């Protein structure tokens, strides 16, 4: 194909050259070597085909509302319609093939060149992304082979899909935001500029007594701030955040029907969707109920520990004084006093390991008997002692078992290889007291003591006296038997 350009306002030398060129053109036309003539001049150019239906393809392209351009088989741009100039923000008639490639980056240039090549054979589509002015635009390019009459080429249409992609991106962003909102463990509440609740997640629903959507925040969730008295409310926090001032980490109490959420840490941040304009605020509530319960429990334990330490010291002083009054020598005092203090310490260790609750009778007994015999020896049996007692009863039982064990080791069943010891639960009495029996047998012949020592006093007084509690010690010839009564209320749990 040969293309000839004609122009006006030529110099003499140029006119002579163009006359020669025109003569050559006429010769080429007569000999059938010319397919089309391009006329340049002014702001536009025109293509006249000498074969085909006689109408310029430009007329068709200009009739299209979308951008369109024609390229020859070598990829050179022949024409771009006005819609494409407008899409790419270029002056009318100023867009060339080289300029089009110039506004594409390397990746999009590769995509465009591949489309030109593939569209010579059949219809193909690709997407490119172009920066037009201050914005990024996305175009769907559809290329198809075209017969210009004077030769083959490619016609490519440019459809602006930026808005469609922006809408899809906005929907995806909204879907992602909703997923994040729903997945958050903390309660998240979104309010508009007036403080009305517009969105909440599942965690927030568990705090609200009723559906909060459409209600003012202060009506949806009633908060009280212990450190601020009545000077601050939830509405104040929302108003501060909606005006652009974030609020972080305030502790508050929630008045709600949800019994498991009473203490929260509240934070609020401005909600900026686009630009610098604040559209509302996002409020987060972290459940502090468990932490607060743990703090209250720790405070109670500290107070209880202080109380127990004082009682224990008083008990130690009493044991020291009573032991000293019953022992004749310093060595006897040291031995008896040390044993009793060790019994106290052992019970306290058990209580500490069990967090001062749910300590069972069998554990108290086992720690006292451990230095003298093992349960596997068959000489000691326990039955029905899986009974939890409170700390005060555990301490008393520890002293009773210590005195009984010490006596059994010195004079009773545990002083010989044949002696046996049985500690078992008898049952509940009519008044609710729990009866336990300590029974020794097969040991040496037992005779009642002629004098009462402090050990007997500890056994008889440690669990109180009367029908609801106390001990009854018998020196049977076959062995010592002690009936132990543990009062009902607050002292054991079966």
**pLDDT at residue 65, as a whole number:** 81
Alpha-carbon distance 328 to 331, whole Å? 9
The neighbouring-strand residues paired with 287 are 264
Q: Give the global pTM.
A: 0.45
Q: Phi/psi of residue 248, each to 5°?
A: -130, 135
Digit-by-digit pLDDT tens for the chain (494 residues) are: 444 444 455 677 777 777 777 677 666 655 655 555 555 555 444 555 545 444 566 777 777 788 999 998 888 888 888 899 999 988 887 888 888 888 889 999 999 999 999 999 999 999 999 888 888 889 999 999 887 766 788 999 999 998 888 888 878 877 877 787 777 888 899 999 899 999 888 888 877 777 888 999 988 888 888 766 667 788 899 999 988 899 988 888 887 665 556 788 999 999 887 666 788 899 999 888 888 888 888 898 888 778 878 888 888 888 888 888 878 888 888 888 888 888 888 888 887 777 667 788 999 898 888 877 665 567 889 999 998 888 888 888 888 999 899 899 888 999 988 899 999 999 888 878 889 999 999 999 998 887 777 777 777 777 765 556 788 889 999 999 999 988 875 556 65
Nearest to 387 by CA among 415, 367, 359, 407: 359
Going through 317-411 in order, the beta strands assigned E by DSSP cover 359-360, 380-383, 388-389
Please enumerate in sequence order all residues whose Cβ is within 8 A of that of 312, keeping only pairs 6 or more positions apart, or say none.
344, 348, 395
Q: What tokens does 138 get?
A: 């996305």
Alpha-carbon distance 404 to 419, whole Å? 14
**pLDDT at residue 267, as a whole number:** 93
Nearest to 372 by CA among 411, 415, 436: 415
The neighbouring-strand residues paired with 251 are 265
Alpha-carbon distance 387 to 494, whole Å? 5
**pLDDT at residue 6, as a whole number:** 45
């Amino acid at each position: 194909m040969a293309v000839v350009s004609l122009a006006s306002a030529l110099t003499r030398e140029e006119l002579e050259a163009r006359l020669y060129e025109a003569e050559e053109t006429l010769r080429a036309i007569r000999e059938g070597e010319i397919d089309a003539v391009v006329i340049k001049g002014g702001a536009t150019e025109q293509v006249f085909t000498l074969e085909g239906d006689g109408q310029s393809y430009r007329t068709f392209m200009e009739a299209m509302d979308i951008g369109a351009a024609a390229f020859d088989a070598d990829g050179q741009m022949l024409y771009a319609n006005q819609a494409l100039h407008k899409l790419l923000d270029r002056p009318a008639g100023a867009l060339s093939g080289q300029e089009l490639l110039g506004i594409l980056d390397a990746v999009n240039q590769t995509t465009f060149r591949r489309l030109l090549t593939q569209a010579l054979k059949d219809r193909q589509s690709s997407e490119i992304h172009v920066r037009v002015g201050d914005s990024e635009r996305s175009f769907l390019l559809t290329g198809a082979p075209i017969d210009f009459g004077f030769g083959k080429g490619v016609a490519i249409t440019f459809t602006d899909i930026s808005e469609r992609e922006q809408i899809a991106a906005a929907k995806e962003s909204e879907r992602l935001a909703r997923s994040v909102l729903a997945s958050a463990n903390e309660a998240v509440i979104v309010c508009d500029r007036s403080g009305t609740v517009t969105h909440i997640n599942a965690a927030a629903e568990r705090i609200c007594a009723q559906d909060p959507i459409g209600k003012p925040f202060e009506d949806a969730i009633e908060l009280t701030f212990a450190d601020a008295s009545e000077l601050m409310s939830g509405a104040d926090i929302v108003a501060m955040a909606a005006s652009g001032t974030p609020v972080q980490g305030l502790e508050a109490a929630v008045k709600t029907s949800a019994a498991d959420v009473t203490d929260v840490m509240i934070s609020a941040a401005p909600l900026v969707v686009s630009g610098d304009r604040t559209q509302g605020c996002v409020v987060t509530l972290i459940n502090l109920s468990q932490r607060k319960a743990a703090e209250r429990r720790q405070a109670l334990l500290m107070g209880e520990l202080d109380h127990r330490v004082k009682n224990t010291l008083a008990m130690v002083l009493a044991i020291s004084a009573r032991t000293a009054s019953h022992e004749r020598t310093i060595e006897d005092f040291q031995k008896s006093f040390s044993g009793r203090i060790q019994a106290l310490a052992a019970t306290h260790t058990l209580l500490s390991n069990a967090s001062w609750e749910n300590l069972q009778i069998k554990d108290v007994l086992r720690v006292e008997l451990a230095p003298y015999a093992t349960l596997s020896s068959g000489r000691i049996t326990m039955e029905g002692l899986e009974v939890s007692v409170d700390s005060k009863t555990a301490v008393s039982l520890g002293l009773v078992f210590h005195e009984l064990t010490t006596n059994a080791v010195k004079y009773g069943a545990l002083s010989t290889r044949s002696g046996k010891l049985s500690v078992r639960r008898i049952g509940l009495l009519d008044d609710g007291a729990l009866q336990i029996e300590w029974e020794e047998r097969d040991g040496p012949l037992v005779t009642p003591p002629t004098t009462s020592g402090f050990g007997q006093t500890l056994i008889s007084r440690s669990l109180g006296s009367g029908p609801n509690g106390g001990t009854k010690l018998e020196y049977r010839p076959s062995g010592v038997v002690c009936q132990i009564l543990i009062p009902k209320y607050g002292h054991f749990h079966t």
